[in-house]
Chains A and B, each alone.
Chain A
C-alpha cells in the first residue's frame, strides 16, 4: 500500500496556494484579519445604524430629548447645582440605537458618529493606499527599468519628498489647501472634499513605496530572463508588465495592510488638527478632537475612537506581518526610513 502511494504522481501546489495555506495557519494574522473585517463591516453599516437609530450624526441636536426607561432625558444636561454653569452631554446609555456611547458637545449620537467616522477613516486610508501604490509603483518601475537620466530625475524627486518629515509635509500641504481647495487646470478639488486628505496622504508616502520597488526592479532588470527578453527585441513596456510586475506583486500585496495602517494614523492626526476631514463630517481623528473638550466629564467620546484607531492599526500591522511572512519570508520590506 505504501509503495503504491509513493508511486502516484505528486500534485504540487502553486506559490500562491502555498502562501495562503501558510497564512491560514498563522493564528495571529487570521485573528487580526477577522478583527479588521468586523470593524470594516461595522463602519460600512453606519448609514443603516443612523437610520435605525433615527439620528442625524451631522446636525446639532442640543435640545433633543430621549426616552430612557420611559423617562424623558435631555441630551444636554444643565448643571442644577450651585451657579448652574455649563451643559454636559448625556453619557453612555448602553442601549444600541439610543445614544449607546452618549452624546458629544453638539448633542450628536457618538456611536453613529463613530461608525461614520470609521467609514471616512477607512475610505481615506484605503484610497490613499491605492493612490500611493499606483504612483509609487509606476515611479519605481520606470526609474528602475529605464535607469540613466530618468532614474536620476525620479530618484532625486523622491529624495526631495523623502527629505521632509512626513507629518510636517502633510500638515503644510493640508493648511495650504484646506480653505480654498486645489485647482490645477481642469482638475478642481473643493475644500472639504475627502479627496484632499486622500491625495495629500497619498503623496507624502510615495517614496516609501517607490524606493523599495525601484530597488527590486533594478535587480530584476539585469536578471537573465529580462536580458533574454530584451535581446529578443521584446518592447520595454511589455517586459515591465509581463516579466517584472508579476515579480514584485508579492511586495505590493505586503504593502497594502502596512500602508493602510500608516495612512489611518496620518488621517487621524490631520483630522485631529482640523486639517483633514472637515466638520460636520466625522473621522476618528475629528471625534477625538471633539472629545478633547469633554475629557473630564465624558472621556469615552475621545477614548472610543482612539481605541478604534489603535485596534485597527494593530490588526493591520499584525496581518501585514503575517502576509509578508507567508508571501516572501526573505523580504526585507519594512515601512520606515531604515
Chain B
C-alpha cells in the first residue's frame, strides 16, 4: 500500500510539472470575466458536510479542500487522488490502519483565518455532529466513530483523529484497513472548514473556504455568486488550480427550455439540468461545437423486490431482464450517442468491470437483442403469470417514458402491470422504504468514488437493506450471504492488492447480475451545452465539468 501511494505521488508530481507552464500561460491571457450558470433550482443546503448532490459537489470543487483531492484533470487521471491541504499523500502504518498527514503551511481561509490542525480535527468531528449523510458509512471506520454515531453532540473522535500542533500533523486511525479511505477523504463531505463553524446545518449561510473561490452571496430562490478568495495562493495545480473567471454567477429558476434559449442567445454559459429531449435534434445539428458528450460512471436500473411476489422468484426476475429491449430504452434517452445498453451492475471502464451479459438473445459479453420467448418461458416456469406488478417511477418525462415502456414489456410477458409516477422529490426515498411494498421501480445510481464497492456493496449488500427505513439503498432487498462474504473479502483484498480485488469484484458483478435483483437498463452519458464564448472545457470523471478551469475571455 505504501509503495503504491509513493508511486502515485511521484506520478502526480510529474503530471503537475508537465501541466504547469500551459496553465500559467493561459491564466494570464484568459483570466477575468463572469461565467453565468443556470439551474432549475438550487442544490439544497450550502453545507459541504451535508450536501449530497451532483450539483453541489461540482460547485464545491474550486471552493473547498480536503486533506486530499481528486486530481482536477480529464479522463482516467481525474479519478486519481492527490495531496491537497496535506503536503503529500499520507504515510501508512499499523498494517494499513493509521494514516499520517502533514498539513501545508501558510494556507488561509477566505475570512483571513489561518488553517491549522485544529480545523482538521474539528472538521472530522463536525461530519458526525451534523449527522452527515455518509457519516455512518464512509467514515464509520474511524476509531471513535461508533461513539460519535451514538451521540453526535459530544463527538470527539478520541483516538481516531489525532493532531500534533507542533509537528503540524494529523493522524487518522481506522478500526480496520480500508482500501478506499483516500477516495472518501477526497469527497466534499470531508473538506476542512474553520474549527469555529457551528455544528449544525448551515443552510443558506456560506462557510469560509480555502479554495481559489468563495461563496459571496446565496439565495436559494434566486442564485449564488461565487467570487475569488482574496487569501488564496495556489499551492498545488493538480489538486486546486487557480481559476480563470473572476466570478461564477449561478442563477436558479429558469426552465430547461428557457435555459437552452438563454445559452443560444449568449445570455448564459451553461445549464446544470439535462437538455430537453425535443431540443436534442436541433442542438445536435446546429450547435455541435457547443456540445460536449462525456461518459458517466452511472447506472439506470430497475430494482426488483426480491422479497415480494412475483420477484421473490429468481426466474421471474430473469424473465424481465431477458424481455427488456435496451435499444428501446437508449432511444427513449436520446439515442446511442447519449447512452449505451447494459446488463450488468458495474459501468463500462469502471474498476472491476468486465463485459458480461447473460440476458440477451446470444448471451455473452454484450447485449444484442431481447429474448422475449425465453422471458415468457421463464414466467411460465416461475408460476407467476398473471400476477399484478406496479412500477414506481419518477415524475419526469424520461422516467415516465421508461415506466410506460416497462409496463408494456411486463404486460407482453404475462403480468398485469401498471405504472405510477411519483414526484421526483419523493420517489427515491419512497422506493427504498419497505413499508411501501414497492415491487419494481426505475432509478439511477451515480458513483460517489471510483470503486466497485460503491455500486455492488452499497446497492446489494445485506447491510444496505434496512426494514422500514427511507435510507435502505438496497432497494431490491437482495441479501446473499455467500456474495456478501465475497464482497467483504474483496474489500479486504483491496488494501494489499487492488488488481486482485478488482478481479474478485468482476466475479461478484457477474454473480449479482445472474441473480437479477435489478434489471440494468443503460449507462448514460453527460451532455453539456455551453455558450460560444466558453473556452478550455474540461470534464472531470469524478465531479463533471471543471467550471473554473474554463474561460470566458
Interface residues in chain A, defined as those with a beta carbon under 8 Å from any beta carbon in chain B: 58-60, 62-63, 76, 78-79, 81-88, 105-106, 175, 178-180, 191-192, 274, 278-280, 292-298
Contact = CB atoms under 8 A, between A and B. Distances in A.
B276 A293 contact: yes
A279 B335 contact: no
Nearest to A298: B278
A86 B337 CA distance: 9
A62 B390 contact: no
17 contacts: A58-B408, A60-B328, A60-B404, A62-B331, A83-B284, A83-B288, A85-B281, A85-B283, A85-B338, A86-B280, A88-B278, A105-B401, A179-B436, A191-B390, A279-B419, A292-B397, A297-B278
Given A76-B331, A106-B404, A82 B279 contact: no
A278 B422 CA distance: 11
A176 to B, nearest CB: 12
B420 interface: yes
B285 interface: yes
B277 A179 contact: no
A297 B281 contact: yes
Given A83-B293, A84-B337, A192-B390, 17 more contacts: A60-B404, A62-B405, A63-B328, A87-B281, A192-B420, A274-B400, A274-B423, A278-B421, A279-B404, A279-B407, A279-B421, A280-B404, A293-B276, A295-B257, A296-B257, A296-B279, A298-B278
B334 interface: yes
Interface string B417-437: 011111100000010000010
Closest 6 CB pairs of A and B: A86-B280, A85-B284, A81-B285, A79-B281, A82-B285, A83-B284
Nearest to B421: A274
Nearest to A108: B404
B419 to A, nearest CB: 5
B425 to A, nearest CB: 11
B307 to A, nearest CB: 18
A22 B351 CA distance: 81
Interface SS of chain A: loop
Contact of B420 (A88, A178, A295): A178
B470 to A, nearest CB: 14
B340 to A, nearest CB: 15
B395 interface: yes
Interface string B491-506: 0000000000000000
B240 to A, nearest CB: 34
Contacts of A59: 408, 411
Contact of B281 (A62, A63, A86, A192): A86
A78 B407 contact: no
Contact of A179 (B401, B408, B430): B430
Nearest to B438: A179
B257 A105 contact: no
A88 B282 CA distance: 10
Nearest to B288: A82
B391 to A, nearest CB: 10
A85 B335 contact: yes
Contacts of A78: 335
Contact of B418 (A76, A82, A175, A278): A278
B291 interface: yes
Nearest to A63: B328
A192 B418 contact: yes
A296 B285 contact: no
Contact of B332 (A62, A83, A88): A62
A81 B284 contact: yes
Interface in B256-289: 257, 276-286, 288
B295 interface: no
B436 A62 contact: no
Given A192-B418, A294-B278, A297-B278, A84 B284 contact: yes
Contact of A279 (B279, B331, B332, B400): B400
Given A62-B328, A85-B337, A293-B276, A278 B420 contact: yes
A179 B328 contact: no
Interface of B is mostly: helix
B392 interface: yes
Which bucket holds chain B's interface residue count? 35 or more
A296 B278 contact: yes
Contact of B277 (A60, A83, A86, A106): A86
B341 to A, nearest CB: 14
B403 interface: yes
B288 A60 contact: no
B7 to A, nearest CB: 39
Contacts of A60: 328, 404-405, 408
Interface in B271-323: 276-286, 288, 291, 293
A296 B430 CA distance: 33
Contacts of B332: 62, 105
B384 to A, nearest CB: 19
Given A81-B285, A278-B419, A86 B408 contact: no
A274 B334 CA distance: 23
A278 to B, nearest CB: 6
Contacts of A180: 436
B277 A293 contact: yes
Contacts of A280: 404, 407-408, 419
A241 B131 CA distance: 65
Contacts of A293: 276-278, 397
Contacts of B338: 85
A310 B283 CA distance: 33
A209 to B, nearest CB: 31
Contacts of B280: 79, 85-86
A274 B395 contact: yes
B376 to A, nearest CB: 16
B420 A191 contact: yes
A295 B397 CA distance: 12
Contacts of B337: 83-85
A82 B420 contact: no
A88 to B, nearest CB: 6
B285 A79 contact: yes
Contacts of A297: 278, 281-282
Contact of A86 (B335, B390, B405): B335
Interface in B371-420: 390, 392, 395, 397, 400-401, 403-405, 407-408, 411, 418-420
B285 A83 contact: yes
Interface in B492-535: 527
A85 B283 CA distance: 8
Nearest to A76: B331
A294 B277 CA distance: 8
B508 to A, nearest CB: 33
A85 B334 contact: yes
A192 B408 CA distance: 15
- Name the residue among B277, B279, B338, B423 with the largest chain A CB count within 10 angstroms: B277
B334 to A, nearest CB: 5
A83 B257 CA distance: 20
A82 B397 contact: no
B420 A179 contact: yes
Nearest to B407: A280
Contact of A105 (B283, B293, B397, B403): B397
B334 A86 contact: yes
A149 B404 CA distance: 51
Contacts of A274: 395, 400, 421-423
A83 B419 contact: no
Nearest to A80: B285
B126 to A, nearest CB: 36
Contacts of A296: 257, 276, 278-279, 282
Contacts of B411: 59
Contacts of B286: 82
Nearest to B405: A60
Interface in B322-354: 328, 331-332, 334-335, 337-338
Nearest to A83: B284
A85 B277 CA distance: 9
Given A60-B404, A179-B422, A278-B420, A87 B285 contact: no
